[in-house]
Amino acid sequence: MIAEMIQESFSHVVLVTGSRSWNDEKSMCETFNDAWREWGPENVTRPVLLSGHSPKGADSIAELLWEDAGFEIIPFPADWSTCGRTAGFQRNQEMVDAAQVFREARAQVLCTAFLDLCRRPGCPQRGQEQLMPHTPGHFSHGTIHCRSRARAAGIKTTSVLHPSPPF
């Protein structure tokens, strides 16, 4: 599927990752606008969004923003019924792999990670996984995973902390 998309030559690719609890559209708009300014709006001729296609949270908000702007979206829904608990992590890797293919085809690629705290009650990793020193709690496991995979692949990554996390 991605090989077919490459032939369509997208100029800019934004991989969005974020928690299902993300609800801050304003920060997301600002992040996308910052990317446009950095790229130079005149250079963004055919952008595409790579999204995990969750019906709520960061994916949903990003898809609505891109649809409203008339931009294209490539959804990567997780196959929970086949892959079980690892489906989200497998989907994240597929999105990162796709972003790398687009980058190799000379598209500008950016991973945007919208980070909100893990809200899983009784999470055994609470207090162990921190994004940065002096940041209490730990963040959405899927978002942290996708962000770390993108960074390991050498994809430029912008991390946005929820403006009012429940510390």
Mind listing the pLDDT tens digit for each residue in 36-68?
999 999 999 999 999 999 999 999 999 999 999
What does the pLDDT read at residue 103?
A: 94
Q: Is the pTM of this model over 0.85?
A: yes
What does the pLDDT read at residue 167?
A: 47
pLDDT under 50: residue ranges of the chain? 167
Angle at 34 between CA 130 and CA 3, to 5 degrees: 85
Q: Is 56 helix (H, G, I), strand (E, B) or coil?
A: coil
- Residue 159 has φ and ψ, to the nearest 5°, of -110, 130
For tokens 């032939």, what's the residue?
A: 7
What does the pLDDT read at residue 118?
A: 82
Q: Which amino acid is at 106?
A: R
What are the residue ranges spanned by the domains of the chain? 20-129+139-161
